[in-house]
Structure 1
């Protein structure tokens, strides 16, 4: 049971797994959102540029038809004519086309960050498996796509009927209107139809995005074992890290004990703390060469006794120094006076003077 719970994918994906999926090109993406942006961009282009597009296309094509008998089509003249037509088409359609391209790009960027991955182009033999193909055809995603397509068909059909049915008599008589009026009527109806479809498809796009995101997120969920393995890879094996920490502590302890004989004085709280200080003439302040609690404190005092290093008991000073000074650092300024009194006392003992620290 414990093994099953460790292999059951119930944990949310870590940031590393999400980043790895993004690098592979595996992102949450709804095609409906991209389609909606493209359709909305086309609708906006049609409503904003239909007059300029009509005029821009009408002028060169009208001149081409009216003056067709004068146009030379031999050699360089034909090439020049083609260039002129291309320039006219680009100047007319360039901005609308660019706007539609930006809308298509925005439809992807709003869903996820930029993706640069070639993994999707790599051939995978698993895609040729009949079983995998059956899963794609009859799976949950295929069912969702079928229902979504059916719902879109119903929605678009309903919208078209709602927009065009009231105009049915007008559409019957449209062929008897002036050509310019036909264009205006067609444009108005097209904009009404596109606007209604875009409004309805917005709800489908939003719902589909959340469905696709949830499906993608569930697919990336991790088991407890996967979380442990990823932690080991990113942070290191906890057992190895513990062993390294232990070795570092042992190395530091050996270095401290080797430095104790160079100390000038050991300041102790007899039962808990020991701080070894070194001071020589010319130094700006005493430095801490070793410190420790409990067993290490006893070891420091033991080594100091073997090398005749003076040991001074001062409970508050020992506690304060242990808490505020690190190995190989100078003591803080607020302890200068108290330490100076101790060192002065020790130096007095070395000169054969008697006295007690304050």
Structure 2
């Protein structure tokens, strides 16, 4: 098994330092001559169900199809060795989950944050145009403010595979309500949550005081909060919770933008470009212009509660909650079925023998 360490050379790439790690593998900063790259290595733990192998293969297949300046370029890969890997563009800068949770997002002007969102929206549109569903759009999978990158295609699939795909893949806090199909519209739903966070500095549905744990439980929370209008809607925030660079905005109109983005599939924005254009026209107004240079993080009642692990996990490698699900263990299913059959047969035989004995 390949041992990873600084200064080790892998297919001509010199490893520098590990910059991310997760259950599915680890990511290293490396260079090839003057070119800086990121290398994602598959985990070296046993992978009997092949989920780690499928994850890195999905990354290779997606990056090989998509050419976009805000998506890592695929340089090289090895899917045959014992320690499979993929080489891609190195994404520089802070992960957006850290950017939001730390309040550093408000060091950027509102128009600059909207421009970053536009670039990621354009990247996600390019993904969908190639017939690919990302399935894990969230701040932790976006990095950088100079040149933002949409990352982590380890659970991405082709659109034609959706009918047989598991619904237990993704990050629950960025998935649509229960009952919604998990397709390109679920990607855009996740993006709308990211946009809300970049504007308001908090998740629209998540309550740190009462966090859900299971994926379906999280989606059920989203469903109920939207149905009951029990979310952090802009018009329901107190003054301290509204970022200072939104103080001149018509919050009712801004809320309507997100109500549509979070609403039923058939009534959502036709595309991300239309959604972002509506946001720009709503917040970049003459009335709000005096506030654009006064950006300060809002103050929440939860205080430090937002800075939980969910918001500060900024590893580049896949989070355990977003891996491919395990494949069924056919041998285990066979023996379990056989055991059930034996037990049932024994019970029937016992009843028959008891009847004839009487």
- Same fold, judged at TM 0.5 (above): no
Comparing both structures, which one devotes a greater share of its residues to strand? Answer: 2
Larger Rg: 1
TM-score normalised by length of structure 1: 0.19
